[in-house]
């Protein structure tokens, strides 16, 4: 298992584009789940979301994130 983000609450919404394939574990106050995200698969996060994201694989993860105001 790799590094994790802690439990931030994001003030702005954002769009992200992975530049590598990802294997993640995402947890919030209700549940935890394994997630696989393919390279170039766009994702969206709304403002006010709080969660812990941990790397579930060993490969490096990279992405481009654009915050929305």
Please report which residue ranges of 1-69 form alpha helices under DSSP H: none
Q: How many whole angstroms separate alpha carbon 53 and alpha carbon 19?
A: 17
Asked whether the predicted pLDDT for residue 1 surpasses 80, the reply is no
pLDDT band at 5 (very low <50, low <70, confident <90, very high): low
Asked whether the predicted pLDDT for residue 51 surpasses 60, the reply is yes
Q: How many whole angstroms separate alpha carbon 16 and alpha carbon 54?
A: 16
Q: Are 44 and 13 in contact (CB under 8 A)?
A: yes
Domain boundaries, the chain: 13-68
**Mean local confidence (pLDDT), 19-38:** 92
pLDDT band at 49 (very low <50, low <70, confident <90, very high): confident
Asked whether the predicted pLDDT for residue 35 surpasses 60, the reply is yes
């Amino acid at each position: 298992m790799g590094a994790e983000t802690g439990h931030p609450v994001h003030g702005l919404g954002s769009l992200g584009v992975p530049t590598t394939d990802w294997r993640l574990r995402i947890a919030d106050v209700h549940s935890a789940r394994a997630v696989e995200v393919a390279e170039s698969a766009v994702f969206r996060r709304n403002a006010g979301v709080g969660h812990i994201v941990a790397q579930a694989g060993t490969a490096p993860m990279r992405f481009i994130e654009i915050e929305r105001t």
